[in-house]
Structure 1
Amino acid sequence: MSLQKLIAEKYLDGIRQALDQNPDLANKGMPYDEHNTTKAHPLHRICDGVFNNTYSDEEAVEMASLLLEYGARVDGYKLVENQDTPLLAAASLHADKVGLLYIEKGAVC
């Protein structure tokens, strides 16, 4: 199962297993869905899920923390061209608790 689907299903154990097998996934651009295939950093996509009420801010913090534990970079926009930073994504998508986590981990706009 793809990291995108694991995140969409809030399957923390599956996310951890996928990252155990391939830690690079924590920084690999992923599409929003099958219709919007524009890639963004996984930390950005987590904020998309908060905005769309796919999961709560608290659930998003858990998933983002897991990605950060495996090396997700809070400056992830540098890895996916022409995308906002994860912090800007959190702010613009009203993922406030996630944004605070990103600041604690050193994020800048």
Structure 2
Amino acid sequence: MGLNRYGPALSGPISSGPADVAAAGSDSKPAEKTAFDIRLEKYDAAVKIKIIKEVRSFTDLGLKEAKELVEKVPAVLKKGLTKEEAAAIVEKLKELGASVVLE
């Protein structure tokens, strides 16, 4: 019958090319970040013990594990926190004299 010379049968909306893809991409908003990580960058040696105590308070680590984590800076202290939880912890660590980054 010769119908194959017209190409495959299409169903659904037909896009007119790259312009449709660009227009659809510009309408979508970038997703907001919901999970944050706390990274300890550096700290003053005089406040090391206070920082270890604070790290133990918001993690389930023992004294030895918390000490090892604090000593291997830069290190991620806690992952997957909400913005409110992470901000409270960052403020406490900054008050103690640590340099902390919220990722």
Report which of the two structures shows the higher radius of gyration computed on alpha carbons.
Answer: 2
Between Structure 1 and Structure 2, the one with more strand by share is 2
Q: TM-score, normalised by structure 1?
A: 0.29
Structure number with the higher helix fraction is: 1
- TM-score between both structures, scaled by the size of structure 2: 0.30
Higher relative contact order (CA 8 A, sep 6+): 2
